[in-house]
Structure 1
């Protein structure tokens, strides 16, 4: 267990009980615990698998490659409209966590299996950018700007398009 995670949990002003319960469940799956990006992150062989964090209206168990999970219980959701690979399970009370603990363990084990298999999310497939008509019109009139745009990474192009 990571002492920075202990501090994170002791300083939590909301969702402390829920986060502590999620931590217990995740650690029971033999993942290593680290503190990254100001949240608890759980890894398998140095690969990020899941994280937990408190939000304003809920706390979440977040799967880094959640889009690759089967989601047999249909409980995963995108954390944001433009999220590509991550998926979360939201909780508003500790009872919800306890009620589905076996399912959470199953999902965590599946996420570990995804890591072990080397399966990767196809960001290139998701990276194709639909440019707004206004942007395309500017590119049609300014080939230098279009060339500069094409030189950006796919992620940066997507961010500008959004």
Structure 2
């Protein structure tokens, strides 16, 4: 089994992240690697992750929105897109308080056992006029498109719809047609 590594974008937080790992190892969480970072799970569910960034290192709580956070240590790094995830950030080893971190982690484990999680909202149904028009004359393309999951269909439609100029929309349609006919999703090369 390969040695598990810490995720430190700038290789400047190694000692600090190893200390966080030593604290987390006092809990019942199981370490795994997902998205290239150490993620800690309980009953195979993601509970926390750790990592180092340019100006801070920290812990993220996947369902941190449910934590009491009586000490106001958690932040939402992306208000627009992040619903449940919360981060606890540190700028130095001196800021890390083992007792407080263990309290937050144990509460996160309890919340996981209770099954607390944010239900994803159903996305509005979208359409793509350019694709629909192409389907009228290209039945093979329409048939191939129906073989994709709704998620992958949506990716294709959004890809075309996001273009501002008609010329770009046409270019994007031409680019994805061979992908659709070959049953290759728009972002399949990035998925493992």
Cα deviation 1:116-156 (Å, max 9, x = unaligned): 011121433xx788xxxxxxxxxxxxxxxx8517xx76x98
The residue that corresponds to 1:101 in the other structure is: 98
Counterpart-to-counterpart distance in 2, 1:90 and 1:72? 16
Cα deviation 1:53-107 (Å, max 9, x = unaligned): 011100110000001111111100012232111000001111111xx21111000
Counterpart-to-counterpart distance in 2, 1:10 and 1:79? 18
The residue that corresponds to 2:47 in the other structure is: 49
Equivalence map 1:1-162=2 (5 Å): 3-5=2-4, 7-8=5-6, 13-82=11-80, 83-97=82-96, 100-124=97-121, 147-148=126-127
Highest RCO, 1 vs 2 (Cα 8 Å, sep ≥ 6): 1
Name the Cα RMSD after superposition.
3.1
Cα pair distance change 1:9/1:39, threshold 3 Å: closer
Contact 1:51 1:63 in 2 (8 A): yes
Runs of 4+ in 1 over 6 A off after TM superposition: 9-12
Counterpart-to-counterpart distance in 2, 1:51 and 1:28? 15
Counterpart-to-counterpart distance in 2, 1:88 and 1:123? 20
SS at match of 2:105: helix
Cα deviation 1:11-41 (Å, max 9, x = unaligned): 9721111101111111111211111101100
Q: Which runs of 5+ in 2 are unaligned?
A: 129-149, 156-160, 163-192
Tell me the number of residue pairs that the alignment of Structure 1 and Structure 2 aligns: 135
User: What's the TM-score, normalizing by structure 2?
Assistant: 0.61
Contact 1:42 1:50 in 2 (8 A): yes
> Which structure is higher in helix share?
1
Contact 1:4 1:35 in 2 (8 A): no
SS at match of 1:123: coil
Q: Which runs of 5+ in 1 are unaligned?
A: 130-145
Counterpart-to-counterpart distance in 1, 2:9 and 2:85? 26
User: What's the TM-score, normalizing by structure 1?
Assistant: 0.71
Higher-Rg member (1/2): 2
